[in-house]
Chain A
């Protein structure tokens, strides 16, 4: 079990490295999909079918959207500048990350034995308090419904943003102030102005 998880993890790391390094945008998107589907299998094996379903479905949706988006827009290969400053700074930050990760991992509890102070109560009383036999849904929509409202708000905001930025054409209201600012004069205005001369 642990060995299989390790193999999947290595597979995911290889997939993400390929996704960054490859020049072709389409194969990069497919490598991102590899990472997501391996993650979904891992969730399934660790006993979280709810998250596995969500991860798999969202991954499919994201793949479709990304492929559609990368095909319709210009494929531009980003040119790489081997800059000494960027290499040195990324090395420094990677070293810092390693130090802090080393310190933080020592503080973590061992794999598979999480600290469950609040969630013990949820697990014990979810079925009788909420009436839902799926504990995850019981927590999401009863104990933690506020968080779900936050998630719904995030989705709503993203839709509003996508529609505002990508809508077919801007709304044009002709106002008098606009014509004055730009200096566009109607024929009647020009005649009126020239009457004075």
Chain B
């Protein structure tokens, strides 16, 4: 952990010290807000898609402020693709589990009390699956456009 801190402080990539400091404070709040929007999606406005986009924005801010090396260490493109696929698989598996009671996407879990966090059956689980998927895929699209795309435009020479 200490090595990463030192490396972040010494690395020249990314934006200035002011941006890096503010992003370090704001990052936790952004992730917390995104998680709140996802987990309370069945009670208050929001849901898996909106919360997932907020989480993806958090990672994108990290990429813009600290440069691609440190951001890709937090969530690499391989990791993003695994997260994307597991989210999609989880969503489909939840749908298929509905066949235990009759049909596709049956809300087979007990609905619980209204206005409670653990209520709504499969809906919070679906929200979490979609949030995983949206976070990973939007971050992956950003990586592809901003980092891979540089090599295509020819403005930046290939590193390897």
Summed over the interface, the residue pairs from A and B with CB atoms below 8 Å come to a total of 164
List residues 1-58 of chain A with CB under 8 A from any CB of chain B. 49-50, 52-54, 57-58
List residues 84-114 of chain B with CB under 8 A from any CB of chain A. 84, 88, 91-92, 95, 104-105, 107, 111-112, 114
With both beta carbons as reference points, the residue of chain A lying nearest to B80 in the complex is identified as A159
Q: Do the beta carbons of A131 and B119 come within 8 Å of each other?
A: yes
- The answer to whether the Cβ of A80 comes within 8 Å of any Cβ in the partner chain is no
**Bound Cα distance from A32 to B10, whole angstroms:** 37
| Chain B: number of interface residues, binned into ranges | 35 or more
- The answer to whether the Cβ of B26 comes within 8 Å of any Cβ in the partner chain is no
Q: Do the beta carbons of A149 and B45 come within 8 Å of each other?
A: no
| Chain A: number of interface residues, binned into ranges | 35 or more
Measured between C-beta atoms, what is the minimum distance from A137 to chain B in Å? 5
- The answer to whether the Cβ of B152 comes within 8 Å of any Cβ in the partner chain is yes
Question: Could you say which residues of chain A place their CB within 8 Å of the CB of B95?
Answer: 145, 149
Q: Do the beta carbons of B46 and A50 come within 8 Å of each other?
A: yes
**Bound Cα distance from A142 to B111, whole angstroms:** 12
Q: Do the beta carbons of B145 and A54 come within 8 Å of each other?
A: no
- The answer to whether the Cβ of A96 comes within 8 Å of any Cβ in the partner chain is no
Measured between C-beta atoms, what is the minimum distance from B137 to chain A in Å? 4
Question: Could you say which residues of chain A place their CB within 8 Å of the CB of B119?
Answer: 131-133
14 A–B contacts from the bound complex (CB under 8 Å):
A53-B37, A68-B145, A72-B153, A130-B123, A132-B119, A132-B120, A136-B47, A141-B42, A141-B48, A159-B140, A159-B141, A162-B145, A166-B149, A167-B144
Known: A131-B119, A132-B123, A162-B141. 17 other contacts (CB 8 A): A50-B46, A53-B37, A53-B46, A54-B50, A60-B57, A61-B56, A61-B57, A61-B138, A64-B57, A72-B155, A130-B121, A134-B43, A138-B123, A145-B126, A152-B133, A156-B137, A166-B145
Closest 4 CB pairs of A and B: A131-B111, A132-B42, A49-B45, A145-B105
- Name B's A-contacting residues (CB within 8 A): 37, 41-50, 53-54, 56-57, 60, 64, 77, 81, 84, 88, 91-92, 95, 104-105, 107, 111-112, 114-115, 119-123, 126-127, 130, 133-134, 137-138, 140-142, 144-146, 148-153, 155-156, 158
